[in-house]
Amino acid sequence: MLVSELLELVRQNLALNGCSSVKTFPSQAKPVRLAIGDRAASEITYLDLEAYKAKRKELGLANATINLELQLLMRGFRLWRRSDPDVRVPVCDMLSVNNERHQFVDEVEMEKIVARLKRLYRRDFVRFAFYTGKRPGSIRQLAWDDVDLEKATVRFRAETIKTRQYEVFPIYRQVREILEGRQETRCGDLVFHRGDGEPVRAFSQEMRLAAAEAGLAGIQVRDMRSSFVTHCALQEIPLKTTMRLSGHRSLRMAVRYHKVADREMRQAAETLERAFGA
């Protein structure tokens, strides 16, 4: 069994289980395939994996990216062992990753970034993410069949959601304006497309440049989600309601996304001042 064959087992397994990650599998598996794909899987050792991590680190790859690549490989080993209990799975220490989302923007800051994006569909994409708190992957797959402007609802089908649970989002004015604008450029089934009906691809590099030019270095599309949760908290929307809106299933995750804004800190200080001065 070659490493490349292990990776093919993973691809087949992802497709069989209807995992959305099958779409990103080719790009994530490519570095592993190029590095050790022609080697016998039974010969891969802990030191080989350590060497792989070191080389990827030298290229400037983030720990989270390297971990994703290695997780695919380890999944391949586990799938292989299901059919052959004698298979030896090498030890693989994952790199430390801080998953905490520290970025938060308000509406004015979001618009500063959006104004610097060149393409209309990308500007609409970021605005929609900001006003709904939905994951980029779910937004990319949103179809017109899922939008009901008359009933003011947007459906997010289970297969487009990370948690694999159906979600409904209520349309309010800002969201409606985006959707009505997208209708004017409608081309095919997808709400957000590149102008030819094809799905929107990741545009992290342009987003990074736009954010830097706006004086908000480091902001990415994913940060619209944490910003949404924080804005809900600022408007004193109950946490359970916020979780239904954003699609969070875990209270721990929702709280992690909730950023303490400067306004909240000032309000807390004023509250303490009144309390202690009474």
Q: Which CATH class is domain 107-265?
A: mainly alpha
Share of the chain above pLDDT 90, in %: 60
- Determine phi and psi for 150, rounding to 5 degrees: -65, -45
CB atoms within 10 A of CB 161: 19
More confident residue, 118 or 97: 118
Token pair in block for residue 225: 């989600």
At 266, is the pLDDT very low, low, confident or very high (cuts 50, 70, 90)? Answer: low
Amino acid at 18: G
* Mean pLDDT, rounded, for 108-117: 96
At 232, is the pLDDT very low, low, confident or very high (cuts 50, 70, 90)? Answer: confident
Range with the poorest average pLDDT among 100-109, 183-192, 199-208, 268-277: 268-277
Q: What secondary structure, in 3-state letters, does the chain show?
A: CEHHHHHHHHHHHHHHCCCHHHHCHHHHHHHHHHHHCCCEHHHCCHHHHHHHHHHHHHCCCCHHHHHHHHHHHHHHHHHHHHHCCCCCCCCCCCCCCCCCCCCCCCHHHHHHHHCCCCCHHHHHHHHHHHHHCCCHHHHHCCEHHHEECCCCEEEECHHHCCCCCCEEEECCHHHHHHHHHHHCCCCCCECCECCCCCECCCCHHHHHHHHHHCCCCCCCCCHHHHHHHHHHHHCCCCHHHHHHHHCCCCHHHHHHHCCCCHHHHHHHHHHHHHHHCC
Asked whether the predicted pLDDT for residue 252 surpasses 90, the reply is no
| Residues forming beta bridges with residue 2, ordered by sequence position | 40
Q: 148-175 pLDDT, tens per residue?
A: 999 999 998 877 666 566 788 999 999 9
